[in-house]
Structures are given as structure tokens and as C-alpha cells.
């Protein structure tokens, strides 16, 4: 009886903690999907998108198709686009969209504006929208400050490609493949949760709520790493399904907002509308 009550409370706690009407975008079978205020909209119809990011502040979208290493950057207000070379991936950070190179570099640039960004000695970094809060990898560990002043986590706890910072700089999210997903608001201690397979950049909002591409424990059939479907039997398939996971400190486990999907990120409602408007014109 005690176990049953505990299980009911556990599930009730998870349901109560879910965001009521979240606005976010994610990648599903090679296309960008936006969910906002109960409405789901397919933004692209390409079936070959491997990575994307949206800048709320600059009202822009960047996406990378089929191993091109080139980002297509779209101004969502005007509909104009440009192609930016040298991007293996993209992430929303620092008030814009940054490339994710495979190799560490001494500086980077905003793919939307072309503005150079360098915060020595960091080779990999993320920052708040106003770029006053900077978090990055120094001496193989995660630090905050320029120069690095506050150690956040050991290198073994952090995937150097996928950590992130909330737009206002108050929340920092990080994980590694065999280490927990954590959120910290300095000077407090990190709050963490265990996870299955996890990939892609985290998206952290100013309240410390995190979106992550996380393993669901069920099997999927993969056409490509970004185009997959649930297997007929949960224990079958090529590999574990990735879904859109939601978590915030205090929640006992990751909650899935979408059963399959990758590369999730929070959106402003106004940006979700811009994406839908652009999609209608572009498609």
C-alpha cells in the first residue's frame, strides 16, 4: 500500500510539474516542428535537416541540411536568407546563433550578424543574451567569468559541445553521457537528475527549466541519426529513441513532451508565430 501511494505521488508530482502551455521547437524526422500554446506546426518540409537553432532576440532561424557543413540563416521578419560556411552545428546563445565546430577554436562568430565573439581563454563558451555572463571550458573544466573565476563542474561532468546558459545568465545547464543532467544558479549548488542517452545542446530558460534530447528507454528504427520512428515492439529497433525531455530542479525525473524528437529549444510565443508565418510563405 505504501509503495502504491508513493508511486501515485511520484506520477502526480511529475504531471503537476509539467509546463502548462510551453512554446518550443524541435527536430522530427529531418524537419523543424514548433509547439506553442497547444498548437503544433510543421515549419519545414525538407526531411534532411540535421541541426537548427532559433534566436528569439534576432528573430532568426539557422539550419543545417544533410552533412553540408553550411548553415542556412533566415530572417524570419523579412524572409531573406543567407548561407554561412563552416558550421557543423548551431546553437542559440549569446543573444544570437553560434556555430558548433568539431574542433575547439579561439573565437567564434554569430552566424546571423557575422559579429566576432571571443572570450579568452575559453575555446568553447556560451553566454547570456547581453553577453555579460559567460560560461566556458577552461583547463578542461566548466567555469564562469572572464577571466575564469568560478568553477562550476569537473570536465568529466560536462559535454563541451552541449552545455548552455539561460538568456538572462542566471541558470547554467550541463550533462555528460554517463553523468547527470544538472542545472545550477550560482552561488547555489547544482541540482541534478539521472538520464538515459542524451544528445544535442540543452535549452535552459530563465526559470531553470531545461529541454533536452533524451533517451526514452524504448526502441526506434533509424533511417538516419535525425530521422527515426518507434519500433513496433518497445524492445526492438536499431537503437534507443530520443524524445523531447523536460526537467527542472525539484522534479524527480525527466518528463517527455514528445515521444520522439531531437534538438529542442524554448521559443518566445512571438517567435513561434514568426516561424509559422515564414513557413506558410516559404512552403
Task: Give the number of residues written for the chain.
Answer: 283
Cβ count near 110 (within 10 Å): 22
On whether residue 8 sits in a domain, the answer given is no
On whether residue 274 sits in a domain, the answer given is yes
Q: How far is CA 79 from the centre of its chain?
A: 24
Radius of gyration of the chain (CA): 18
pLDDT at 1: 36
On whether residue 16 sits in a domain, the answer given is no
pLDDT at 12: 44
Are the C-beta atoms of 98 and 83 separated by less than 8 Å? no
Judged by DSSP in three states, 188 sits in coil
On whether residue 130 sits in a domain, the answer given is yes
**pTM of the complete model:** 0.90
pLDDT at 18: 62
CA distance 219 to 228: 10
CA distance 2 to 54: 46
- The three three-digit cell numbers of residue 206, written as one number: 530563465
For the chain, how many structural domains are there in total? 1
pLDDT at 106: 65
Mean pLDDT by 10 residues, the chain (283 residues): 36 53 94 96 96 98 88 97 91 95 74 94 95 95 97 96 97 95 96 94 98 96 93 86 97 97 98 97 84
On whether residue 200 sits in a domain, the answer given is yes
pLDDT at 2: 31
Q: Which helix (DSSP H) or strand (DSSP E) does residue 225 occupy?
A: none
CATH number at residue 134: 2.120.10.30
On whether residue 10 sits in a domain, the answer given is no
Q: Which domain holds residue 85?
A: 23-282
Which residues partner with 117 through β-bridges? 108
- The three three-digit cell numbers of residue 132, written as one number: 555579460
Eight-class DSSP state of 37: T
pLDDT at 88: 87
- The three three-digit cell numbers of residue 65, written as one number: 541540411
CA distance 68 to 227: 16
CA distance 272 to 121: 36
CA end-to-end distance (rounded Å), the chain: 55
What is each CA distance from 226 to 66, 97, 207, 241, in whole angstroms? 10, 20, 29, 11
On whether residue 252 sits in a domain, the answer given is yes
pLDDT digits (tens, 9 = 90+) for 21-47: 789 999 999 999 999 999 999 999 999
Which residues neighbour 3 within 8 Å (Cβ) at sequence distance 6 or greater?
none
CA distance 63 to 71: 5
On whether residue 6 sits in a domain, the answer given is no
Amino acid at each position: 500500500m505504501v509503495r502504491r501511494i508513493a508511486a501515485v505521488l511520484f506520477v502526480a508530482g511529475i504531471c503537476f510539474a509539467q509546463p502548462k502551455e510551453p512554446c518550443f521547437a524541435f527536430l522530427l524526422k529531418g524537419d523543424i516542428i514548433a509547439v506553442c500554446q497547444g498548437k503544433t506546426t510543421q515549419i519545414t518540409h525538407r526531411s534532411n535537416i540535421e541541426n537548427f537553432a532559433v534566436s528569439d532576440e534576432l528573430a532568426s532561424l539557422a539550419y543545417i541540411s544533410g552533412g553540408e557543413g553550411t548553415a542556412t540563416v533566415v530572417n524570419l521578419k523579412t524572409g531573406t536568407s543567407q548561407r554561412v560556411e563552416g558550421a557543423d552545428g548551431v546553437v542559440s546563445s549569446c543573444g544570437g546563433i553560434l556555430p558548433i565546430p568539431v574542433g575547439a577554436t579561439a573565437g567564434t562568430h554569430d552566424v546571423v550578424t557575422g559579429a566576432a565573439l571571443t572570450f579568452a581563454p575559453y575555446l568553447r563558451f556560451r553566454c547570456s543574451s547581453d553577453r555579460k555572463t559567460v560560461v566556458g571550458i577552461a583547463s578542461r573544466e566548466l567555469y564562469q567569468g572572464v577571466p575564469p573565476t568560478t568553477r562550476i563542474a569537473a570536465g568529466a561532468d560536462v559535454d563541451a559541445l552541449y552545455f548552455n546558459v539561460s538568456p538572462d545568465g542566471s541558470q547554467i545547464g550541463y550533462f555528460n553521457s554517463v553523468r547527470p543532467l544538472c542545472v545550477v544558479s550560482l552561488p547555489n549548488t547544482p541540482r541534478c537528475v539521472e538520464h538515459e542517452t542524451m544528445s544535442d545542446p540543452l535549452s535552459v530558460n530563465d526559470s531553470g527549466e531545461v529541454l533536452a534530447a533524451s533517451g526514452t528507454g524504448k526502441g526506434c528504427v533509424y533511417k538516419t541519426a535525425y530521422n527515426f520512428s518507434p519500433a513496433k515492439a518497445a524492445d526492438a529497433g536499431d537503437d534507443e529513441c530520443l524524445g523531447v525531455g523536460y526537467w527542472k530542479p525539484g522534479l524527480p525525473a525527466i518528463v517527455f513532451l514528445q515521444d520522439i524528437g531531437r534538438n529542442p529549444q524554448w521559443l518566445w510565443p512571438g517567435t513561434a508565430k514568426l516561424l509559422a508565418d515564414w513557413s506558410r510563405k516559404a512552403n
